[in-house]
């Protein structure tokens, strides 16, 4: 929960409200599916950066979702002072980021491991790839 236009504020209740919204959607999709004998998928595009994914209740949302599309791209971009890797697979000693914590966390491997450590089953994770 978060992101979007600069100045968008996240509120403490947004974390829980996101979960409640997904639960309501899952309930409605399942009810409609029973009526017309169809299976409706519920997926999200989820952040890969630690400052943002802390705003999700992994343990509560993953049972509601068919899969989670990890936005493992745009770790760096025009907002950075220097050119950097857009979607590094692993942390790299060649990463020009001065902050060691950022260097270790802003990569595909770290994002996937964070979701797995939070209890999200691996079969529900889809890694987004830039091109």
29-56 pLDDT tens trace? 999 999 999 999 999 999 998 888 999 9
4 falls within a domain:
no
Q: What is the CATH number of the domain that holds 16?
A: 3.20.20.80
Sheet holding 67-71, edge to edge: 43-47, 67-71, 125-127
Going by C-beta distance under 8 Å and a sequence separation of 6 or more, which residues neighbour residue 8?
Answer: 2
The yes-or-no verdict on residue 18 having pLDDT over 60 is yes
2 falls within a domain:
no
39 falls within a domain:
yes
> Which pLDDT value is given to residue 12?
82
61 falls within a domain:
yes
3-state secondary structure of 45: strand
Greater confidence, 80 or 43?
Answer: 43
| CA atoms of 16 and 29, how far apart (whole Å) | 20
State which residues form the domain around 90. Answer: 12-127
Domain count along the chain: 1
Centre a 10 Å sphere on the Cβ of residue 95 and count the other Cβ atoms it contains: 20
32 falls within a domain:
yes
The yes-or-no verdict on residue 130 having pLDDT over 90 is no
């Amino acid at each position: 929960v978060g992101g979007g236009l600069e100045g968008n504020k996240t509120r403490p209740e947004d974390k829980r409200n996101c979960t409640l919204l997904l639960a309501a959607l899952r309930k409605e999709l399942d009810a409609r599916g029973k009526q017309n004998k169809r299976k409706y998928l519920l997926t999200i595009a989820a952040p890969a950066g630690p400052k943002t994914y802390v705003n999700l209740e992994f343990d509560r949302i993953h049972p509601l979702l068919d899969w989670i599309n990890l936005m493992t791209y745009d770790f760096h971009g025009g907002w950075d002072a220097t050119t950097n890797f857009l979607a590094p697979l692993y942390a790299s000693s060649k990463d020009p980021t001065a902050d060691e914590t950022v260097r270790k966390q802003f990569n595909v491997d770290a994002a996937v491991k964070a979701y797995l450590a939070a209890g999200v089953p691996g079969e529900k994770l889809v890694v987004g790839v830039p091109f």
